[in-house]
Amino acid sequence: MSAREPREERPSDSWIVALLFALAFGYDTVEAIANAEQLPLLYVGAGIEGAIPWWLLVAQVALPGIFFVVALFVGRRMRLVGKAGILLVALGVSAQLSLLAEQLARQIAITALGA
Amino acid sequence: MSRDEDALRWEGDDELDRATADDADAGSAPGPDGASAPDAAREARRRGPLGWLMLALAAASTVGWIAIMVLNPVQQPSLLGLAMYQLGELLAVIAPLLWWFCVGRLAPVGRRAPWWLAGLVVTAPWPLAVGVLA
């Protein structure tokens, strides 16, 4: 078997992968903005408007974008598969933080209702 | 080898300065430390006891996230919303193992331990801790 020719990676390949992941991270951000609109209404409806976790809502909106940028930075010198892997891990961590924020918001509401 | 077969092979995404299995095809030139390229590649791929310990801990995190997913009631107004939510849950479940795998494949040997430790902290099933501590 002869030695294989090295694969060519065009810069546009990285841009396409980054764009696809940007859509996924963007969806996370849109969901977080929707949460930031709806969650305060639930708290107000329950009469615990003083306990609205604004810090959590702001963090939830900001973090997907931050993760995306950090993943691009970490994978900047890697080949395409490595970049995609790092971005996928970042997307997974973003999903984990969404679930954590959901649980925290639930616990804060329960604590405020019990007080 | 045809391009179709090529697409089915995992060639990894190693650092440029790390020897790969391809080097074996091109000839076994000795490395700077006297080891041949395939030996160096095998050495770089070796996980070591720490790697396997981290894999066990990442698997434990994954079990924790599965428990969170099972305990978490899902209510979404639309089918698309439900599908995306469940996709997010799936990503959350596989993230600890994915982190472990990516560190093993992408990080240089000397820098794997801190990255693995960071992964354990970041991808731990924190919602379980929040539920227990509250």
Residue window 63-92, chain A: list those with CB within 8 Å of chain B.
Answer: 78-82, 85-86, 88-89, 91-92
**B78: confidence class by pLDDT, cuts 50, 70, 90:** confident
Tell whether ipTM is more than 0.90: no
Over residues A13-62, the pLDDT tens digits come to: 889 999 999 999 999 999 999 999 999 999 999 888 888 999 999 999 99
Over residues B14-68, the pLDDT tens digits come to: 444 444 444 444 444 444 444 455 666 666 666 788 899 999 999 999 999 999 9
Over residues B82-125, the pLDDT tens digits come to: 898 999 999 999 999 999 999 999 998 888 999 999 999 999 99
Average pLDDT over residues B10-15: 49
- Nearest C-alpha in A relative to B120: A93
Mutate: best of B3, B78, B87, B102, partner A, most A CBs <10 A: B102
Q: What is the DSSP letter of B30?
A: B
**Does any CB of chain A come closer than 8 Å to the CB of residue B92?**
yes
User: What percent of chain A clears pLDDT 90, i.e. is strictly above it?
Assistant: 69
pLDDT for A114 equals 83
Does A10 score more than 50 pLDDT? Answer: yes
pLDDT for B14 equals 47
CA distance B66 to B92: 9
Nearest C-alpha neighbor of A63 from the set A25, A11, A37, A100: A25
**Does any CB of chain B come closer than 8 Å to the CB of residue A102?**
yes
**Does any CB of chain A come closer than 8 Å to the CB of residue B122?**
yes
In 3-state terms chain A splits into helix, strand, coil percentages (rounded to 5) of 80, 0, 20
**Does any CB of chain A come closer than 8 Å to the CB of residue B22?**
yes
H or E segment and range at residue A104:
helix A80-114
CA distance A60 to A63: 6
